[in-house]
Amino acid sequence: MKLAVIADMHHFSRTLGDSGRAFELRSGSDQKCLAETGDIIDATFDMLGSSDVDAVLIAGDLTNDGETASHEEMVEKIALLSKSKPVYVITSTHDWCNDANPRAYRGDSIIHDVPTVDRTALYGMYKPFTGKEPLSEITTSLGFTSALYELGDGVRLLAVCDDKNGEGKAGYPPELLEWIQSCAADAKRDGERIIMMQHHLLMPGISPLINGGQCIGDREQMRDALARAGIEYIFVGHSHMQRVTNYTADDGSSITQINVGSLTGHPGAINIFTIDRYSAELEVHSVPDFTFNGKTRSALYLKEHSLALLEKVFWAGVRDKKEFFDRLSALGIRAPEQLEKAYPVIRRACSLIMTSNVGRLRFLQPFVQDKEAYAQAVYQLAGEPLFYYVGAIFLNLFDGTRTVFEPGSPPHTVVTQLAKIPGRLGVGAELAGEIEKIAEKLI
């Protein structure tokens, strides 16, 4: 079984507006592309349709915000792809406008009177594209449907809609967990492997500080339950961050989470997963070239879009407190109050990042642990723009750390030493430990 797994396409119908000031503000504050989604998806589906994959799996957030217009176009695109490959889809909160704030853009104005699809209609809308009936199906008391499929070659797929656990979070209400466990037990009995796909994270891939809020409720308990049930691999989306996380429970059972990055934001992730009865292998590719407004673009376009966004955030930090926090919140980062109070420091940091070379970081030497190694590393990088490294770390967040700086290299030394500063300034052992772990994962 060779599977292509993609997630978070967030398709935005251009009929909802793709120019004007209101649109520019919205698209300029999103890590993903917005007007480009249709063209990126078309090129990707074209490529997958004629590739040697056996099936395509889509892990939720198909549309920008559940707009009917976006769904109608998405259904058309998937229908076309399903002529050559079975397509297994789960939907998630962005497919039914969870925030009750659908938007269209006309000139300077945002229009909220936009038709959206009701969440109960979604399962039926996308089910026909698998080309087969599920082995089992469950609709929870909250009205969300999940299904179990025989993919072939001794592999089954649990396509789980985890939008609500009934306790205010994403996850599994009790009847859904029971159903998952019994599907896994059946697969074991029949000598088949079972993989799972859901939208929200089972485990925080990078750190609870970054991904904690993106996980399902009772995440540790659920992680153990799934590992013990015999789910070996789980595909998730939502964070827009490509990352693989392994976990082994006390009883030796283990589970691997493959967090698939967004298709329409850097790195334009396409996960190719090959699995048979005995082995499994993952390769991560980027979107193929696509044509947008008559011009051919590559995955580099998505990377540049992300970097441009980061630049805008830092320049806003230099210019204006309100704009800076507005841009952060547009990115989904809700800044705690302490951060707002620390704006003068943030402003200096933003200015430093945008206008200085690494050499300027010499002033932090008194605060680091290994002063000599730090000074030497800063000296070696003295003439290089600071933004280059900040940008590399930002991109690594989304692409699963494609740019690796070897331990002992000057950038690695500088970043890991800087990450120790909060701990040395006494922010608390747990927080300091997490900051160091994040730095290790992103450099």
**Least separation in angstroms between CB 260 and Fe ion:** 11
Kindly tell me which of 183 and 236 has the beta carbon lying closer to Fe ion.
236
C-beta separation of 324 from 348 below 8 A: no
Q: For residue 86, give the amino acid letter.
A: P
Comparing CB distances to Fe ion, the nearer of 61 and 434 is 61
- By beta-carbon proximity to Fe ion, the closer residue of 164 and 420 is 164
Q: Which stretch binds Fe ion (CB under 5 A): 8-16, 185-193, 281-289, 301-309?
A: 8-16
- Segment near Fe ion (CB under 5 A), from 4-12, 20-28, 110-118, 330-338? 4-12
Closest separation in Å from C-beta 71 to Fe ion: 15
Q: Output 199 or 420, the one with its CB closest to Fe ion.
A: 199
Contact between 8 and Fe ion by CB under 5 A: the answer reads yes
Query: Under the criterion CB under 5 A, does residue 61 sit at the interface with Fe ion?
Result: yes
Shortest distance, position 128 Cβ to Fe ion, whole Å: 23
Q: At closest approach, how far in Å is the CB of 90 from Fe ion? A: 11
CB-nearer residue toward Fe ion: 58 or 390: 58
Cβ distance 235 to 158 under 8 Å? no
DSSP state of 216: P
Contact criterion met (CB below 8 Å) for 195 and 224? no
Considering the complex, what minimum distance in angstroms separates the CB of residue 192 from Fe ion? 29
228, 249 contact by CB (below 8 A)? yes
Q: How far is the CB of 321 from Fe ion (least distance, A)?
A: 28
Q: Report the Cα 6 to chain-centroid distance in Å.
A: 10
Q: What is the rounded CA–CA span in Å between residue 183 and residue 135?
A: 9
Output the smallest distance, CB 109 to Fe ion, in A. 25
Q: Which C-beta is closer to Fe ion: that of 208 or that of 359? A: 208
Strand, helix or coil for residue 243: strand
Pairing mode, strands 269-275 and 280-286: antiparallel
Nearer of residues 8 and 30 to Fe ion, judged by Cβ: 8
* Piece in contact with Fe ion (CB under 5 A), picked from 216-224, 233-241, 247-255, 412-420: 233-241
Instruction: Name the one range near Fe ion by CB under 5 A: 238-246, 288-296, 327-335, 344-352.
Output: 238-246
Return the number of the residue (172 or 387) whose C-beta is nearest Fe ion. Answer: 172
Provide the pairing of β-strand 290-292 with 295-297. antiparallel
Q: Which residues contact residue 414 at a Cβ distance below 8 angstroms, ignoring those fewer than 6 apart?
A: 358, 361, 374, 377, 378, 381, 389
Contacts with Fe ion in 297-336 (CB under 5 A)?
none
Contact residue for Fe ion among 71, 103, 238, 305 (CB under 5 A): 238
Spatial separation of the C-alpha atoms in residues 76 and 11, rounded to whole Å: 12
3 state DSSP class of 148: strand
Residue 266 as a binder of Fe ion (CB under 5 A): the answer is: no
Contacts of 118 (CB under 8 A, 6+ apart): 96
Question: Crossing angle of helices 299-319/386-399, nearest 10°?
Answer: 130
| Interacting residues with Fe ion (CB under 5 A) | 8, 61, 238
